[in-house]
A and B are shown apart, each in its own frame.
Chain A
Amino acid sequence: MNDTNTELAITPADIVAAIKSATVEVFATMLNMQLEAGPMLTEKSVAAAPASGVVSLVGLAGSWAGTGSIACTGAFACKMASSFLLAEYDAMNDDVLDAVGEISNMIVGNVKTILEEKVGQMGLSTPTVIFGRNFQTRSSRNHEWIVVPFRMSDEHMFVQLSLAPNRDGERSTLRAGFQMPQVINF
């Protein structure tokens, strides 16, 4: 969050509540999975991610702009895809990556809908899904990430959002399906 603003349209608590609500709803409705949310974390500049696994990034742009993402291990991604598609996946493949992308799209999309009531309309990018080992993601601008960890049995997933007032103070072009810049360090 941009700490230099004296009046913030949204607070970290607003973002955490939106993330929890959206994530629990998506997993309960479409995956029939019950997740438990842990306490909020914050990460400066660099998003939390497992040492190896899957990250799916979705961009947001409007009078506020930023990035939402979900991050988990490859094993949990396979479990998510199996529940989502009612098929068995025990290794990463295109179906699993697509499933993770769509799940992140629904979570960040619903977070967007909740937050839009306070910050106005935002556009949503198409998801970018990355699978690999030992990588970090960071926003191209120096903003803090709000991170909400979720747990199901022994598996963990992070849902995180970096969002701040648009630097130029003008509404960005809200073209559906836009691509946004990200820096990924391997």
Chain B
Amino acid sequence: MLDILIVDDSAAIRKILQRVLRQTDIPIGNVFEAGDGKEALETLKTQPVGLILSDINMPNMSGLELLSAVKANEAWKNLPVVMVSTEGSQAKVLEAVELGAAGYVRKPFNADQIKEKLAALF
């Protein structure tokens, strides 16, 4: 079972991603939520997960700052992090990839795009 952490300051997006994840063929276990990068790091300390889906533009700690922190941590560095963001410029996508993102989904997204990204990873 795959435990997942969804990181987005929008409760609406977190709800939508929860729903889409339950529609995939991948057996989904616990789905945790965090409203920003700082909250996500606190969650990771006590809740091991197999995947992180993260927005980029968030208060307190951005998604790219979260990505950097995850990749710098010995316990989490191999954890796949997929960015889900309105930031669609090539520069931003490249920045995420260079920081170690496992994938990038631009908002607005449909369910199939999320499912395809997960299928490619698992």
Contact = CB atoms under 8 A, between A and B. Distances in A.
Do the two chains belong together in a single complex? Answer: yes
Interface of A: 25-26, 29-30, 81, 84-86, 94-95, 98-99, 101-102, 105-106, 109-110, 112-113, 116-117, 121, 124, 126, 176-177
A29 B108 contact: yes
A121 B62 contact: no
A109 B10 contact: no
9 contacts: A30-B107, A30-B109, A95-B11, A102-B10, A102-B12, A105-B86, A106-B107, A126-B59, A177-B9
Interface string B85-109: 1111101000000000000000111
Interface of B: 9-13, 15-16, 19, 36, 56-60, 62-64, 85-89, 91, 107-110
A177 B86 contact: no
A105 B62 CA distance: 15
B86 A84 contact: no
Main secondary structure of the interface of B (DSSP, over half): loop
Given A95-B12, A98-B10, A121-B89, A176 B108 contact: no
A161 to B, nearest CB: 15
Contact of B62 (A113, A117, A177): A177
Nearest to B88: A113
A109 B89 contact: no
Given A84-B12, A98-B12, A110-B88, A124 B57 contact: yes
Contacts of A109: 57, 85-88, 107
The 3 A-B residue pairs whose C-beta atoms are closest, nearest first, are: A109-B86, A177-B59, A29-B108
B114 to A, nearest CB: 12
Contacts of B87: 109, 113, 124
A28 to B, nearest CB: 8
Given A86-B19, A109-B86, A110-B86, A126 B9 contact: yes
A95 B11 CA distance: 8
A116 B88 CA distance: 10
A112 B91 CA distance: 13
A105 B86 CA distance: 8
A176 B110 contact: no
A102 B56 CA distance: 13
Contacts of B91: 121
A25 B108 contact: yes
A120 to B, nearest CB: 10
B27 to A, nearest CB: 23
Contacts of A126: 9, 57-59
